[in-house]
Amino acid sequence: MSSIVGSSVVAGVVRSALLVLGAVMAAASSAQTPPADTVYVNGNVYTLDAARPRAEALGVAGDRIVAVGSDADARRLAQPGTKVVDLNGRTVLPGLIDAHCHVESLGSFGLGHIDLSQTTSFDDVVATVAERVQQAQKGEWILGGRWDHESWPDRQLPTHHKLSAVSPDNPVWVTRVDGHAGLANAAAMRLAGLTAETPSPAGGEIIKDESGALTGVFIDNAEDLIAGHIDSTMADTAALLLKAQEMCLAVGLTGVHDAGISPAEVAVYRELAESGRLKLRVYAMVGGRYAHAYFREHGLSIGARLTVRSAKLFADGALGSRGAWLSEPYSDRPSDSTGKPYTGLVVMKPEFIRQVAEDGLRQGYQVCTHAIGDRGNHETLNAYAVALSRRPTENHRYRIEHAQILALDDIPRFAKLGVIPSMQPTHATSDMRWAEARVGPRRIAGAYAWAKLRRTGVPIPGGSDFPVESHNPFYGLYAAITRQDHNGSPAGGWLPGERMTRTEALRSFTLDAAYAAFEEDLKGSLQVGKLADFVVIDRDVMTCAPREIIQTRVLRTVIGGETVYAVNE
Protein backbone atom coordinates (compact mmCIF):
# COMPACT_ATOMS: atom_id res chain seq x y z
CA MET A 1 0.00 0.00 0.00
CA SER A 2 2.77 2.42 0.99
CA SER A 3 4.55 1.80 -2.28
CA ILE A 4 1.38 2.69 -4.17
CA VAL A 5 0.98 5.91 -2.19
CA GLY A 6 4.61 6.72 -2.76
CA SER A 7 4.25 6.25 -6.50
CA SER A 8 1.22 8.51 -6.54
CA VAL A 9 3.08 11.24 -4.68
CA VAL A 10 6.02 11.03 -7.05
CA ALA A 11 3.69 11.09 -10.03
CA GLY A 12 1.94 14.12 -8.60
CA VAL A 13 5.24 15.95 -8.09
CA VAL A 14 6.29 15.13 -11.63
CA ARG A 15 2.96 16.32 -13.01
CA SER A 16 3.25 19.59 -11.06
CA ALA A 17 6.78 20.13 -12.30
CA LEU A 18 5.71 19.50 -15.85
CA LEU A 19 2.81 21.95 -15.49
CA VAL A 20 5.15 24.63 -14.18
CA LEU A 21 7.64 23.94 -16.96
CA GLY A 22 4.82 24.06 -19.52
CA ALA A 23 3.66 27.42 -18.17
CA VAL A 24 7.19 28.81 -18.35
CA MET A 25 7.62 27.56 -21.91
CA ALA A 26 4.24 28.99 -22.92
CA ALA A 27 5.15 32.36 -21.44
CA ALA A 28 8.50 32.30 -23.23
CA SER A 29 6.78 31.33 -26.45
CA SER A 30 4.26 34.16 -26.00
CA ALA A 31 7.07 36.62 -25.36
CA GLN A 32 8.77 35.50 -28.56
CA THR A 33 5.60 35.73 -30.68
CA PRO A 34 6.02 38.69 -33.01
CA PRO A 35 3.39 41.41 -33.11
CA ALA A 36 0.86 40.90 -35.86
CA ASP A 37 0.71 42.98 -38.99
CA THR A 38 -2.98 42.09 -39.29
CA VAL A 39 -5.47 40.44 -36.97
CA TYR A 40 -8.73 38.99 -38.26
CA VAL A 41 -11.39 38.87 -35.57
CA ASN A 42 -15.05 37.91 -35.14
CA GLY A 43 -14.80 35.04 -37.61
CA ASN A 44 -16.09 31.50 -38.00
CA VAL A 45 -12.76 29.80 -38.64
CA TYR A 46 -12.36 26.17 -39.69
CA THR A 47 -8.71 25.36 -39.10
CA LEU A 48 -8.41 21.63 -40.00
CA ASP A 49 -6.07 21.45 -37.02
CA ALA A 50 -7.14 18.42 -34.98
CA ALA A 51 -5.96 20.09 -31.78
CA ARG A 52 -8.15 23.15 -32.38
CA PRO A 53 -10.60 22.65 -35.24
CA ARG A 54 -12.53 25.90 -34.67
CA ALA A 55 -11.47 29.44 -33.86
CA GLU A 56 -12.68 33.05 -33.87
CA ALA A 57 -9.58 34.87 -34.98
CA LEU A 58 -6.23 34.77 -36.76
CA GLY A 59 -3.09 36.81 -36.33
CA VAL A 60 -0.73 37.26 -39.28
CA ALA A 61 2.84 38.57 -39.30
CA GLY A 62 4.66 38.67 -42.60
CA ASP A 63 3.59 35.64 -44.58
CA ARG A 64 2.89 33.44 -41.52
CA ILE A 65 0.14 32.75 -39.07
CA VAL A 66 1.19 33.79 -35.55
CA ALA A 67 -2.07 33.25 -33.68
CA VAL A 68 -5.15 31.06 -34.02
CA GLY A 69 -7.78 31.25 -31.34
CA SER A 70 -10.12 33.68 -29.67
CA ASP A 71 -10.53 37.34 -30.50
CA ALA A 72 -8.64 38.12 -27.30
CA ASP A 73 -5.75 35.86 -28.38
CA ALA A 74 -5.39 37.71 -31.65
CA ARG A 75 -5.87 41.21 -30.27
CA ARG A 76 -3.06 40.66 -27.76
CA LEU A 77 -0.68 40.63 -30.72
CA ALA A 78 -1.87 43.99 -31.97
CA GLN A 79 0.53 46.92 -31.73
CA PRO A 80 0.20 50.50 -32.95
CA GLY A 81 -0.11 50.15 -36.70
CA THR A 82 -1.57 46.65 -36.62
CA LYS A 83 -4.56 46.37 -38.96
CA VAL A 84 -7.68 44.87 -37.39
CA VAL A 85 -10.13 43.25 -39.81
CA ASP A 86 -13.62 42.51 -38.48
CA LEU A 87 -14.90 39.43 -40.32
CA ASN A 88 -18.47 40.06 -39.14
CA GLY A 89 -19.03 36.39 -38.44
CA ARG A 90 -17.97 35.27 -41.91
CA THR A 91 -16.55 31.80 -42.48
CA VAL A 92 -12.82 31.34 -42.98
CA LEU A 93 -11.30 28.25 -44.60
CA PRO A 94 -7.69 27.25 -45.18
CA GLY A 95 -6.53 28.26 -48.65
CA LEU A 96 -8.05 25.94 -51.25
CA ILE A 97 -5.70 24.01 -53.51
CA ASP A 98 -6.63 22.48 -56.87
CA ALA A 99 -4.45 19.38 -57.07
CA HIS A 100 -4.89 18.79 -60.81
CA CYS A 101 -5.52 21.47 -63.40
CA HIS A 102 -4.28 23.10 -66.60
CA VAL A 103 -3.63 26.77 -65.99
CA GLU A 104 -2.62 28.03 -69.44
CA SER A 105 -5.59 26.28 -71.01
CA LEU A 106 -7.97 27.98 -68.58
CA GLY A 107 -6.40 31.29 -69.51
CA SER A 108 -6.96 30.59 -73.19
CA PHE A 109 -10.72 30.39 -72.62
CA GLY A 110 -10.55 33.52 -70.50
CA LEU A 111 -8.85 35.36 -73.36
CA GLY A 112 -10.84 34.25 -76.36
CA HIS A 113 -10.87 30.56 -77.21
CA ILE A 114 -14.42 29.53 -78.08
CA ASP A 115 -16.09 27.94 -75.05
CA LEU A 116 -18.51 25.30 -76.31
CA SER A 117 -19.47 23.91 -72.90
CA GLN A 118 -23.02 25.24 -73.13
CA THR A 119 -23.80 23.87 -76.59
CA THR A 120 -26.68 21.41 -76.63
CA SER A 121 -26.16 20.01 -80.14
CA PHE A 122 -23.57 19.84 -82.87
CA ASP A 123 -25.58 22.44 -84.76
CA ASP A 124 -24.91 24.80 -81.82
CA VAL A 125 -21.20 24.15 -82.24
CA VAL A 126 -21.38 24.88 -85.97
CA ALA A 127 -23.33 28.10 -85.42
CA THR A 128 -20.89 29.30 -82.76
CA VAL A 129 -17.88 28.62 -84.99
CA ALA A 130 -19.62 30.29 -87.98
CA GLU A 131 -20.07 33.44 -85.92
CA ARG A 132 -16.36 33.49 -85.03
CA VAL A 133 -15.39 32.90 -88.68
CA GLN A 134 -17.23 36.09 -89.62
CA GLN A 135 -14.93 38.01 -87.27
CA ALA A 136 -11.70 36.29 -88.39
CA GLN A 137 -9.30 36.99 -91.20
CA LYS A 138 -8.93 34.47 -93.99
CA GLY A 139 -6.50 31.72 -93.01
CA GLU A 140 -6.70 32.52 -89.28
CA TRP A 141 -7.01 29.50 -86.98
CA ILE A 142 -10.30 29.19 -85.09
CA LEU A 143 -9.66 27.48 -81.75
CA GLY A 144 -11.97 26.34 -78.99
CA GLY A 145 -13.18 23.42 -76.98
CA ARG A 146 -15.23 21.93 -74.14
CA TRP A 147 -17.92 20.40 -76.37
CA ASP A 148 -19.48 17.21 -75.03
CA HIS A 149 -21.34 14.97 -77.44
CA GLU A 150 -22.86 13.14 -74.47
CA SER A 151 -24.94 16.29 -73.88
CA TRP A 152 -26.36 16.25 -77.41
CA PRO A 153 -29.60 14.50 -78.37
CA ASP A 154 -27.95 11.83 -80.55
CA ARG A 155 -24.89 11.44 -78.26
CA GLN A 156 -22.76 10.64 -81.31
CA LEU A 157 -19.25 11.86 -82.08
CA PRO A 158 -19.52 14.58 -84.74
CA THR A 159 -18.17 14.62 -88.29
CA HIS A 160 -16.52 17.62 -89.84
CA HIS A 161 -18.79 18.23 -92.85
CA LYS A 162 -21.15 20.87 -91.41
CA LEU A 163 -18.23 22.54 -89.67
CA SER A 164 -16.17 22.60 -92.86
CA ALA A 165 -19.06 24.11 -94.80
CA VAL A 166 -19.14 27.24 -92.59
CA SER A 167 -15.35 27.62 -92.42
CA PRO A 168 -13.89 26.92 -95.88
CA ASP A 169 -11.05 29.42 -95.53
CA ASN A 170 -10.16 29.01 -91.87
CA PRO A 171 -8.61 25.96 -90.20
CA VAL A 172 -10.69 24.98 -87.15
CA TRP A 173 -9.69 22.84 -84.18
CA VAL A 174 -12.12 22.39 -81.29
CA THR A 175 -11.37 19.87 -78.55
CA ARG A 176 -13.78 17.72 -76.58
CA VAL A 177 -14.41 18.65 -72.94
CA ASP A 178 -11.91 16.03 -71.69
CA GLY A 179 -9.14 17.33 -73.95
CA HIS A 180 -8.49 13.80 -75.19
CA ALA A 181 -10.34 14.19 -78.50
CA GLY A 182 -10.69 16.99 -80.99
CA LEU A 183 -12.57 17.88 -84.16
CA ALA A 184 -10.80 19.41 -87.14
CA ASN A 185 -12.42 20.89 -90.23
CA ALA A 186 -11.34 20.12 -93.79
CA ALA A 187 -9.05 23.17 -93.97
CA ALA A 188 -7.14 22.07 -90.85
CA MET A 189 -6.77 18.51 -92.14
CA ARG A 190 -5.50 19.76 -95.52
CA LEU A 191 -2.98 22.00 -93.77
CA ALA A 192 -1.78 19.00 -91.75
CA GLY A 193 -1.50 16.87 -94.88
CA LEU A 194 -3.89 14.21 -93.62
CA THR A 195 -5.82 11.85 -95.89
CA ALA A 196 -7.91 8.73 -95.61
CA GLU A 197 -4.70 6.73 -95.97
CA THR A 198 -3.06 8.33 -92.90
CA PRO A 199 -2.64 5.60 -90.27
CA SER A 200 -3.51 6.10 -86.61
CA PRO A 201 -0.39 6.69 -84.50
CA ALA A 202 0.50 4.53 -81.51
CA GLY A 203 -1.62 5.56 -78.55
CA GLY A 204 -4.11 7.44 -80.70
CA GLU A 205 -6.95 6.94 -83.15
CA ILE A 206 -8.04 8.75 -86.29
CA ILE A 207 -11.78 8.16 -86.48
CA LYS A 208 -12.97 7.26 -89.98
CA ASP A 209 -16.43 6.54 -91.30
CA GLU A 210 -17.65 3.28 -92.81
CA SER A 211 -16.18 4.19 -96.18
CA GLY A 212 -12.78 4.91 -94.63
CA ALA A 213 -13.03 8.70 -94.99
CA LEU A 214 -11.81 11.07 -92.28
CA THR A 215 -14.54 12.22 -89.91
CA GLY A 216 -12.36 14.98 -88.47
CA VAL A 217 -12.20 13.40 -84.98
CA PHE A 218 -8.75 12.65 -83.56
CA ILE A 219 -8.26 10.91 -80.22
CA ASP A 220 -5.34 11.11 -77.76
CA ASN A 221 -1.95 10.88 -79.51
CA ALA A 222 -3.65 11.44 -82.87
CA GLU A 223 -4.51 14.98 -81.72
CA ASP A 224 -0.87 15.92 -82.25
CA LEU A 225 -1.36 15.46 -86.00
CA ILE A 226 -3.45 18.64 -85.97
CA ALA A 227 -2.12 20.48 -82.92
CA GLY A 228 1.43 20.42 -84.29
CA HIS A 229 0.35 22.65 -87.20
CA ILE A 230 -1.52 25.32 -85.25
CA ASP A 231 -0.17 28.80 -85.81
CA SER A 232 -2.13 31.11 -83.53
CA THR A 233 -1.68 34.73 -82.57
CA MET A 234 -3.36 34.06 -79.23
CA ALA A 235 -1.95 36.03 -76.30
CA ASP A 236 1.48 34.95 -75.08
CA THR A 237 1.95 32.42 -72.29
CA ALA A 238 2.46 35.04 -69.58
CA ALA A 239 -0.84 36.72 -70.44
CA LEU A 240 -2.65 33.37 -70.42
CA LEU A 241 -1.22 32.41 -67.02
CA LEU A 242 -2.05 35.79 -65.51
CA LYS A 243 -5.63 35.65 -66.81
CA ALA A 244 -6.06 32.19 -65.32
CA GLN A 245 -4.57 33.41 -62.04
CA GLU A 246 -7.15 36.19 -61.92
CA MET A 247 -9.93 33.64 -62.42
CA CYS A 248 -8.55 31.32 -59.75
CA LEU A 249 -8.09 33.94 -57.05
CA ALA A 250 -11.70 35.05 -57.49
CA VAL A 251 -12.99 31.59 -56.54
CA GLY A 252 -10.75 31.12 -53.51
CA LEU A 253 -7.88 29.09 -54.92
CA THR A 254 -4.57 29.87 -53.26
CA GLY A 255 -2.62 27.06 -54.92
CA VAL A 256 -2.75 24.85 -58.01
CA HIS A 257 -0.95 21.75 -59.28
CA ASP A 258 -0.41 22.47 -62.98
CA ALA A 259 -0.40 19.06 -64.61
CA GLY A 260 1.96 18.54 -67.54
CA ILE A 261 3.70 21.69 -68.74
CA SER A 262 6.66 22.29 -71.03
CA PRO A 263 10.06 23.61 -69.95
CA ALA A 264 9.24 26.81 -71.85
CA GLU A 265 6.16 27.29 -69.70
CA VAL A 266 8.22 26.65 -66.57
CA ALA A 267 10.50 29.48 -67.66
CA VAL A 268 7.54 31.86 -67.99
CA TYR A 269 6.27 30.88 -64.55
CA ARG A 270 9.71 31.50 -63.12
CA GLU A 271 9.82 34.96 -64.68
CA LEU A 272 6.40 35.80 -63.24
CA ALA A 273 7.47 34.57 -59.81
CA GLU A 274 10.69 36.58 -59.85
CA SER A 275 8.86 39.73 -60.92
CA GLY A 276 6.27 39.36 -58.16
CA ARG A 277 3.36 38.97 -60.57
CA LEU A 278 2.75 35.34 -59.66
CA LYS A 279 0.44 35.38 -56.64
CA LEU A 280 -0.88 31.81 -56.82
CA ARG A 281 1.28 29.07 -55.38
CA VAL A 282 2.03 26.78 -58.31
CA TYR A 283 3.20 23.19 -58.03
CA ALA A 284 4.27 22.39 -61.57
CA MET A 285 4.44 18.94 -63.17
CA VAL A 286 6.85 18.83 -66.11
CA GLY A 287 5.58 16.85 -69.08
CA GLY A 288 6.83 13.26 -68.83
CA ARG A 289 8.76 13.21 -72.09
CA TYR A 290 10.89 16.12 -70.83
CA ALA A 291 11.39 14.85 -67.28
CA HIS A 292 14.73 13.00 -67.45
CA ALA A 293 16.57 15.75 -69.31
CA TYR A 294 14.86 18.61 -67.49
CA PHE A 295 15.68 17.46 -63.96
CA ARG A 296 19.18 16.37 -64.96
CA GLU A 297 19.84 19.92 -66.19
CA HIS A 298 17.84 21.97 -63.68
CA GLY A 299 17.38 19.78 -60.63
CA LEU A 300 14.48 20.38 -58.25
CA SER A 301 13.20 23.89 -57.65
CA ILE A 302 11.24 24.62 -54.46
CA GLY A 303 10.05 28.17 -54.02
CA ALA A 304 7.43 30.28 -52.26
CA ARG A 305 5.31 30.71 -55.39
CA LEU A 306 6.70 28.15 -57.83
CA THR A 307 7.83 24.61 -57.13
CA VAL A 308 9.04 22.26 -59.87
CA ARG A 309 9.71 18.79 -58.51
CA SER A 310 7.34 16.45 -60.36
CA ALA A 311 6.61 14.93 -63.76
CA LYS A 312 3.33 14.07 -65.50
CA LEU A 313 2.87 10.89 -67.55
CA PHE A 314 -0.10 9.37 -69.39
CA ALA A 315 -1.07 5.71 -69.18
CA ASP A 316 -4.24 6.09 -71.26
CA GLY A 317 -6.90 8.47 -72.53
CA ALA A 318 -10.31 9.48 -71.20
CA LEU A 319 -13.48 7.48 -70.60
CA GLY A 320 -15.77 9.96 -72.37
CA SER A 321 -13.89 9.65 -75.67
CA ARG A 322 -13.33 5.92 -75.07
CA GLY A 323 -9.57 6.25 -74.83
CA ALA A 324 -9.33 4.98 -71.23
CA TRP A 325 -7.51 1.62 -71.17
CA LEU A 326 -9.84 -1.09 -69.89
CA SER A 327 -9.10 -4.67 -68.90
CA GLU A 328 -12.04 -5.89 -70.99
CA PRO A 329 -13.78 -4.36 -74.03
CA TYR A 330 -16.00 -1.33 -73.70
CA SER A 331 -19.58 -2.30 -73.00
CA ASP A 332 -20.79 0.26 -75.55
CA ARG A 333 -18.00 -0.31 -78.12
CA PRO A 334 -16.93 -3.94 -77.82
CA SER A 335 -14.97 -3.97 -81.09
CA ASP A 336 -13.04 -1.52 -83.25
CA SER A 337 -13.48 -0.82 -86.96
CA THR A 338 -11.55 -3.99 -87.85
CA GLY A 339 -13.65 -6.21 -85.58
CA LYS A 340 -10.98 -6.64 -82.92
CA PRO A 341 -11.94 -6.29 -79.22
CA TYR A 342 -11.68 -2.62 -78.28
CA THR A 343 -10.27 -1.81 -74.84
CA GLY A 344 -9.05 1.78 -75.29
CA LEU A 345 -5.64 3.31 -75.91
CA VAL A 346 -2.17 2.90 -74.44
CA VAL A 347 -0.82 6.45 -74.57
CA MET A 348 2.53 5.68 -72.91
CA LYS A 349 3.75 2.11 -72.56
CA PRO A 350 4.00 0.72 -69.02
CA GLU A 351 7.71 0.12 -69.55
CA PHE A 352 8.23 3.85 -70.18
CA ILE A 353 6.25 4.69 -67.04
CA ARG A 354 8.46 2.28 -65.08
CA GLN A 355 11.61 3.87 -66.50
CA VAL A 356 10.52 7.39 -65.57
CA ALA A 357 9.39 6.18 -62.14
CA GLU A 358 12.87 4.79 -61.52
CA ASP A 359 14.49 7.95 -62.84
CA GLY A 360 12.32 9.96 -60.46
CA LEU A 361 13.65 7.94 -57.55
CA ARG A 362 17.23 8.51 -58.73
CA GLN A 363 16.88 12.25 -59.30
CA GLY A 364 14.42 12.94 -56.50
CA TYR A 365 11.40 14.15 -58.47
CA GLN A 366 7.86 12.94 -57.98
CA VAL A 367 6.09 10.94 -60.70
CA CYS A 368 2.39 11.54 -61.40
CA THR A 369 0.63 9.39 -64.01
CA HIS A 370 -2.74 10.01 -65.64
CA ALA A 371 -4.68 6.73 -65.51
CA ILE A 372 -8.42 6.42 -65.93
CA GLY A 373 -9.31 2.88 -67.06
CA ASP A 374 -8.94 -0.13 -64.79
CA ARG A 375 -6.17 -1.56 -66.97
CA GLY A 376 -4.40 1.81 -67.11
CA ASN A 377 -4.47 2.03 -63.31
CA HIS A 378 -3.40 -1.60 -62.88
CA GLU A 379 -0.42 -1.24 -65.20
CA THR A 380 0.64 2.03 -63.58
CA LEU A 381 0.55 0.46 -60.12
CA ASN A 382 2.60 -2.44 -61.51
CA ALA A 383 5.16 -0.04 -62.98
CA TYR A 384 5.46 1.81 -59.68
CA ALA A 385 5.78 -1.48 -57.78
CA VAL A 386 8.66 -2.65 -59.97
CA ALA A 387 10.44 0.71 -59.62
CA LEU A 388 10.09 0.59 -55.84
CA SER A 389 11.30 -3.00 -55.68
CA ARG A 390 14.49 -1.96 -57.45
CA ARG A 391 15.00 1.24 -55.48
CA PRO A 392 12.99 1.08 -52.23
CA THR A 393 12.03 4.38 -50.61
CA GLU A 394 9.16 5.44 -48.38
CA ASN A 395 8.67 9.09 -49.31
CA HIS A 396 8.30 8.89 -53.10
CA ARG A 397 4.65 9.97 -53.01
CA TYR A 398 3.97 8.58 -56.46
CA ARG A 399 0.60 9.77 -57.71
CA ILE A 400 -2.06 8.45 -60.04
CA GLU A 401 -4.02 11.30 -61.55
CA HIS A 402 -7.79 10.59 -61.82
CA ALA A 403 -7.87 6.89 -60.75
CA GLN A 404 -11.41 6.78 -62.07
CA ILE A 405 -12.15 3.13 -62.84
CA LEU A 406 -10.40 0.70 -60.49
CA ALA A 407 -10.47 -3.07 -60.22
CA LEU A 408 -11.54 -3.78 -56.65
CA ASP A 409 -8.37 -5.81 -56.04
CA ASP A 410 -6.26 -2.78 -56.96
CA ILE A 411 -7.84 -0.41 -54.42
CA PRO A 412 -5.76 -1.67 -51.43
CA ARG A 413 -2.57 -1.44 -53.50
CA PHE A 414 -2.57 2.37 -53.32
CA ALA A 415 -2.03 2.28 -49.56
CA LYS A 416 0.33 -0.69 -49.73
CA LEU A 417 2.60 1.05 -52.27
CA GLY A 418 2.16 4.55 -50.85
CA VAL A 419 0.58 5.79 -54.08
CA ILE A 420 -1.68 8.85 -53.88
CA PRO A 421 -4.95 8.82 -55.86
CA SER A 422 -5.38 12.42 -57.05
CA MET A 423 -9.07 12.69 -57.93
CA GLN A 424 -11.57 15.24 -59.20
CA PRO A 425 -15.05 15.05 -57.61
CA THR A 426 -16.84 16.89 -60.43
CA HIS A 427 -15.68 14.23 -62.90
CA ALA A 428 -17.97 11.77 -61.14
CA THR A 429 -21.01 14.03 -61.38
CA SER A 430 -20.29 14.89 -65.02
CA ASP A 431 -19.60 11.30 -66.05
CA MET A 432 -22.39 9.61 -64.10
CA ARG A 433 -24.77 10.10 -67.04
CA TRP A 434 -22.89 7.61 -69.19
CA ALA A 435 -20.07 5.96 -67.21
CA GLU A 436 -21.93 2.72 -66.58
CA ALA A 437 -22.74 2.43 -70.28
CA ARG A 438 -18.98 2.46 -70.96
CA VAL A 439 -17.97 -0.21 -68.43
CA GLY A 440 -21.13 -2.09 -67.43
CA PRO A 441 -22.64 -2.81 -64.00
CA ARG A 442 -19.84 -5.00 -62.64
CA ARG A 443 -16.91 -2.65 -63.27
CA ILE A 444 -18.84 0.43 -62.14
CA ALA A 445 -18.38 -0.79 -58.54
CA GLY A 446 -14.80 0.52 -58.69
CA ALA A 447 -15.72 3.86 -60.27
CA TYR A 448 -14.77 7.15 -58.58
CA ALA A 449 -14.38 5.08 -55.40
CA TRP A 450 -13.54 7.77 -52.87
CA ALA A 451 -14.92 6.01 -49.80
CA LYS A 452 -13.33 2.66 -50.64
CA LEU A 453 -9.97 4.37 -51.06
CA ARG A 454 -10.42 6.47 -47.91
CA ARG A 455 -11.04 3.33 -45.87
CA THR A 456 -7.57 2.06 -46.83
CA GLY A 457 -6.05 5.18 -45.25
CA VAL A 458 -4.80 7.02 -48.34
CA PRO A 459 -5.21 10.79 -48.72
CA ILE A 460 -7.29 11.91 -51.70
CA PRO A 461 -6.12 15.29 -53.00
CA GLY A 462 -8.99 17.04 -54.74
CA GLY A 463 -8.90 18.92 -58.00
CA SER A 464 -11.03 19.90 -60.96
CA ASP A 465 -8.91 19.19 -64.04
CA PHE A 466 -9.95 22.67 -65.18
CA PRO A 467 -10.86 23.71 -67.81
CA VAL A 468 -12.31 20.21 -68.30
CA GLU A 469 -14.51 21.12 -65.33
CA SER A 470 -15.15 24.47 -63.70
CA HIS A 471 -12.24 25.95 -61.78
CA ASN A 472 -14.61 26.77 -58.89
CA PRO A 473 -13.54 24.53 -55.97
CA PHE A 474 -16.93 24.84 -54.28
CA TYR A 475 -18.40 22.82 -57.13
CA GLY A 476 -15.90 20.13 -56.19
CA LEU A 477 -16.81 20.27 -52.51
CA TYR A 478 -20.49 19.95 -53.40
CA ALA A 479 -19.89 17.02 -55.75
CA ALA A 480 -17.75 15.25 -53.16
CA ILE A 481 -20.39 15.32 -50.43
CA THR A 482 -23.50 14.76 -52.60
CA ARG A 483 -22.47 12.96 -55.83
CA GLN A 484 -25.29 14.94 -57.43
CA ASP A 485 -25.49 17.47 -60.26
CA HIS A 486 -26.39 21.10 -59.59
CA ASN A 487 -30.09 20.25 -59.87
CA GLY A 488 -29.80 17.76 -57.02
CA SER A 489 -30.02 14.67 -59.21
CA PRO A 490 -30.07 11.79 -58.71
CA ALA A 491 -31.93 11.77 -55.39
CA GLY A 492 -29.55 10.50 -52.72
CA GLY A 493 -26.56 10.75 -55.05
CA TRP A 494 -24.95 8.48 -57.63
CA LEU A 495 -23.33 5.44 -55.97
CA PRO A 496 -23.95 7.27 -52.69
CA GLY A 497 -21.79 4.95 -50.61
CA GLU A 498 -18.75 6.67 -52.12
CA ARG A 499 -19.62 10.16 -50.85
CA MET A 500 -17.22 12.11 -48.64
CA THR A 501 -18.11 13.83 -45.39
CA ARG A 502 -17.82 17.61 -45.42
CA THR A 503 -14.60 17.46 -43.42
CA GLU A 504 -13.14 14.86 -45.79
CA ALA A 505 -14.10 17.00 -48.78
CA LEU A 506 -12.53 20.13 -47.30
CA ARG A 507 -9.43 18.18 -46.35
CA SER A 508 -9.22 16.89 -49.91
CA PHE A 509 -8.83 20.45 -51.25
CA THR A 510 -6.49 21.55 -48.46
CA LEU A 511 -4.34 19.22 -46.36
CA ASP A 512 -4.51 16.25 -48.73
CA ALA A 513 -3.61 18.44 -51.69
CA ALA A 514 -0.73 19.92 -49.69
CA TYR A 515 0.47 16.43 -48.76
CA ALA A 516 0.46 15.40 -52.42
CA ALA A 517 3.00 18.18 -53.02
CA PHE A 518 5.17 17.48 -49.93
CA GLU A 519 3.84 20.72 -48.42
CA GLU A 520 1.62 19.63 -45.51
CA ASP A 521 3.96 21.32 -43.00
CA LEU A 522 3.42 24.67 -44.73
CA LYS A 523 -0.12 24.63 -46.09
CA GLY A 524 -3.52 23.05 -45.82
CA SER A 525 -4.51 24.03 -42.27
CA LEU A 526 -4.59 27.20 -40.22
CA GLN A 527 -1.94 26.72 -37.55
CA VAL A 528 0.73 28.90 -35.98
CA GLY A 529 3.87 28.83 -38.12
CA LYS A 530 2.14 27.87 -41.34
CA LEU A 531 1.73 30.13 -44.33
CA ALA A 532 -1.09 32.65 -44.02
CA ASP A 533 -3.15 31.30 -46.92
CA PHE A 534 -6.91 31.43 -46.37
CA VAL A 535 -10.23 32.47 -47.85
CA VAL A 536 -13.21 34.32 -46.44
CA ILE A 537 -16.59 33.25 -47.82
CA ASP A 538 -20.20 34.37 -47.53
CA ARG A 539 -21.67 31.21 -45.96
CA ASP A 540 -20.78 28.31 -43.71
CA VAL A 541 -20.21 25.48 -46.19
CA MET A 542 -19.80 23.03 -43.34
CA THR A 543 -23.38 23.46 -42.11
CA CYS A 544 -25.48 25.04 -44.88
CA ALA A 545 -27.86 23.08 -47.09
CA PRO A 546 -25.73 21.10 -49.56
CA ARG A 547 -26.99 22.83 -52.71
CA GLU A 548 -26.12 26.22 -51.20
CA ILE A 549 -22.44 25.26 -51.40
CA ILE A 550 -22.40 25.80 -55.18
CA GLN A 551 -23.63 29.37 -54.64
CA THR A 552 -20.72 30.25 -52.35
CA ARG A 553 -19.19 33.65 -53.01
CA VAL A 554 -15.57 34.36 -52.09
CA LEU A 555 -15.17 37.66 -50.28
CA ARG A 556 -11.42 37.65 -49.72
CA THR A 557 -8.48 35.51 -50.81
CA VAL A 558 -5.30 35.85 -48.77
CA ILE A 559 -1.96 34.33 -49.80
CA GLY A 560 1.10 34.74 -47.61
CA GLY A 561 -0.70 37.41 -45.59
CA GLU A 562 -1.44 39.49 -48.70
CA THR A 563 -5.02 40.08 -49.79
CA VAL A 564 -4.88 39.17 -53.46
CA TYR A 565 -8.62 39.29 -54.11
CA ALA A 566 -11.46 41.07 -52.32
CA VAL A 567 -14.96 42.24 -53.02
CA ASN A 568 -16.76 45.23 -51.58
CA GLU A 569 -19.79 44.02 -49.67
Reported as a single tens digit per residue, the pLDDT across 49-107 is 999 999 999 999 999 999 999 999 888 888 999 999 999 999 999 999 999 999 999 99
Could you say which of 159, 193, 227 is where a domain stops?
227
Angle at which helices 350-363 and 374-390 pack, to 10 degrees?
A: 40
Reported as a single tens digit per residue, the pLDDT across 215-242 is 999 999 999 999 999 986 666 999 999 9
In a domain, 559, yes or no: no
| pLDDT the model gives residue 199 | 95
| pLDDT the model gives residue 234 | 61
- Are residues 220 and 248 both part of a single domain? no
- Are residues 366 and 427 both part of a single domain? yes
Cα 337 to Cα 199: distance, rounded to the nearest angstrom: 13
Cα 215 to Cα 165: distance, rounded to the nearest angstrom: 14
Q: Are 225 and 67 spatial neighbours (Cβ–Cβ below 8 Å)?
A: no
pTM of the model: 0.90
E strand residue ranges, 169-224: 172-176, 181-184, 204-208, 214-220
- Are residues 212 and 135 both part of a single domain? yes
Could you say which of 159, 194, 227 is where a domain stops?
227
| pLDDT the model gives residue 10 | 31
- Are residues 254 and 215 both part of a single domain? no
- Are residues 378 and 430 both part of a single domain? yes
What is the percentage of the chain residues whose pLDDT exceeds 90?
Answer: 91
- Are residues 219 and 262 both part of a single domain? no
In a domain, 45, yes or no: no
| pLDDT the model gives residue 9 | 32
In a domain, 390, yes or no: yes
| pLDDT the model gives residue 25 | 32
Decide: helix, strand or coil at residue 46: strand
- Are residues 251 and 307 both part of a single domain? yes
Give me the chain's average pLDDT, please: 93
Taking alpha carbons only, the member of 390, 225, 370 closest to residue 310 is 370
Report how many domains make up the chain. Answer: 3
Cα 173 to Cα 147: distance, rounded to the nearest angstrom: 12
| pLDDT the model gives residue 358 | 98
CATH code, domain with 320: 3.20.20.140
| pLDDT the model gives residue 540 | 98
Confidence of residue 11 (pLDDT cuts 50, 70, 90): very low
In a domain, 57, yes or no: no
- Are residues 223 and 336 both part of a single domain? no
Confidence of residue 124 (pLDDT cuts 50, 70, 90): very high
Q: What residue numbers bound the domain in which 332 lies? A: 237-525
Among 29-38, 236-245, 363-372, 405-414, the range scoring the smallest mean pLDDT is 29-38
In a domain, 20, yes or no: yes
Q: Are 221 and 347 spatial neighbours (Cβ–Cβ below 8 Å)?
A: yes
CATH code, domain with 223: 3.10.310.70
Q: 189 CB contacts (<8 Å, ≥6 apart)?
A: 160, 214, 216, 226
Q: Does the pLDDT at position 257 exceed 70? A: yes
- Are residues 164 and 259 both part of a single domain? no
- Are residues 158 and 186 both part of a single domain? yes
In a domain, 516, yes or no: yes
